[in-house]
Amino acid sequence: MSIEVRVPTLGESVTEATVATWFKKPGDAVAVDEMLCELETDKVTVEVPSPAAGVMGEIVAAEGETVGVDALLATIAAGEGAAPALAAAPSPAPAAAPAASGGSVDVMVPTLGESVTEATVSTWFKQVGDSVAQDEMLCELETDKVSVEVPAPTAGVLAEIVAPEGTTVDATAKLAVISGAAAGAAPAPSAPAAAPAAGTGDGGGKDVANAPSAEKAMAEAGLSADQVTGTGRDGRIMKEDVANAVAAAATAPAPAAAAPAPASPAPRAPVAAEDAGREERVRMTRLRQTIAKRLKDAQNTAAILTTYNEVDMTEVMALRSQYKDQFEKKHGVRLGFMSFFTKACCHALKEVPEVNAEIDGTDIVYKNFVHMGVAAGTPQGLVVPVIRDADSMSFAEIEKAIAEKGRRARDGKLSMAEMQGGTFTISNGGVYGSLMSSPILNPPQSGILGMHKIQDRPMVINGEIKIRPMMYLALSYDHRIVDGKGAVTFLVRVKEALEDPRRLLMDL
């Protein structure tokens, strides 16, 4: 029986990819989930696993070809014809057989999520020689988006740590070995262990082929492989690596005019000898590096402008104070301010839809739904979990979703799917005491609302000076797509809904 291997989903707004590398040739034996090839898009690199065990048949899309989503890549011959090949597969790696018979189980890198190809081993919770129970946490991996805990696949003794702390591993790497496992449990992990063994055997060493699209890009840019740092598997140079090298070269002449310095970051200024001993140098986490890059990219790409207003929180605070006990008793969650702001923003986004839109090339994509991002500070850094279809939720549903996402964010349990697809973001700096700030956009979104501290201030009400609980609001927006009139209108509608919450009920 012939099984088709097709292009998987490539991600949001990605419609085509280039076949960068084939790891298997026609006639090679393949195991289930073993990597067959690598696809390269303008955003991410995607590995294509085998949907079934068998023998590699025809390769339809050769290296360098551009293919669309769901296009046919290759075929796999499964069934009776595949049995001899699979049976012979373990023979080139005799070391795997004793491991299985001796009760050793390999601990592999778990699925890291869409578009994530590598991770850094941040912490080992166990040491060599420690006893481990099944599903007990062995180590924690850190990617540029989330932290992933790795459980023990079986009970036994941690015999070897292959990837120590600080090591960067790919999605198919082996992390450790557990010995003393039950005989019946060993054969199950041995099959997936064969897959990375085959992959590493083929690609070992530095002599690896670069992506065809990268070779073409280097030729067009006049760069050699020595001038480009590869970030792909085994140091393979990808198309985006060439683009980064070209961008770095383009910015080099500017500083060169002032001084003949290389394109690398400027060296740190000298530190006095008496101060050097009191400094501490800590390597930035991958999450922090990603946050820094995305925030700077946002400033470099969007025409960010911020407009301000202030809102009288008297009515919201009175409504919350009146119903908070009944609300918590009925719904099992506390009534906070975030549900009011989320409702007010959803209400305003209907009137000013461009704040909920995004730019895609020369098109404007309007979203007829609201996936609300709620910025949350964690010990690891800033993350923005997304509450999907917030515009169709009740106050109680919003409060429950925010509480649950916030708890998962603090525990480092958020998946990438929970942080993707947002159309608008709310950031509450007021919880830290901020009185005024200008939030930065979360690309590709076109708007972000900044909440701040509630502070009693004298206000003129009907000709009289009264003390009112006031909050400054800030809307940062992409001026390429949102005009000043639309931005101000949006913020005024939010202000009106909060100062008179009955407008939300009447849809005014």
| 8 A C-beta contact, residue 247 and residue 52 | no
Catalytic site residue from 130, 135, 325, 483: 483
Count Cβ atoms below 10 Å from residue 327 Cβ, excluding itself. Answer: 19
Query: What gap in Å lies between CA 15 and CA 436, rounded to an integer?
Result: 41
Helix-helix angle 314-331:395-410, to 10 degrees: 80
Alpha helices per DSSP H over 222-366? 239-251, 253-258, 273-276, 286-301, 314-331, 338-351
Please report, in angstroms and rounded to a whole number, the separation of the first and last CA atoms in the chain. Answer: 62
Q: How far apart, in whole angstroms, are the C-alpha atoms of residue 477 and residue 480?
A: 9
* Alpha carbon distances (Å) from 172 to 33, 109, 163, 168: 10, 6, 12, 12
Task: Given the residues 28, 42, 479, 500, select the one marked as catalytic.
Answer: 479
- A 10 A CB-CB count for 371 gives 19
Residue showing tokens 């840019």: 221
Q: Are 361 and 301 in contact (CB under 8 A)?
A: no
Which H or E element spans position 406? Answer: helix 395-410
Tell me if residue 170 is catalytic: no
Catalytic site residue 483? yes
d(CA 364, CA 367): 10
- Local structure of residue 235 (DSSP, 8 states): G
Rg (CA), the chain: 27
H or E element, residue 374? strand 372-374
> In this structure, how many other beta carbons lie within 10 angstroms of the beta carbon of residue 450?
24
CB contact at 8 A, 55 and 75: no
Token reading at 453: 């501290």
CA dist list (Å): 387 to 320, 371, 393, 426:
22, 6, 10, 11
Which residues are tagged catalytic?
Answer: 479, 483
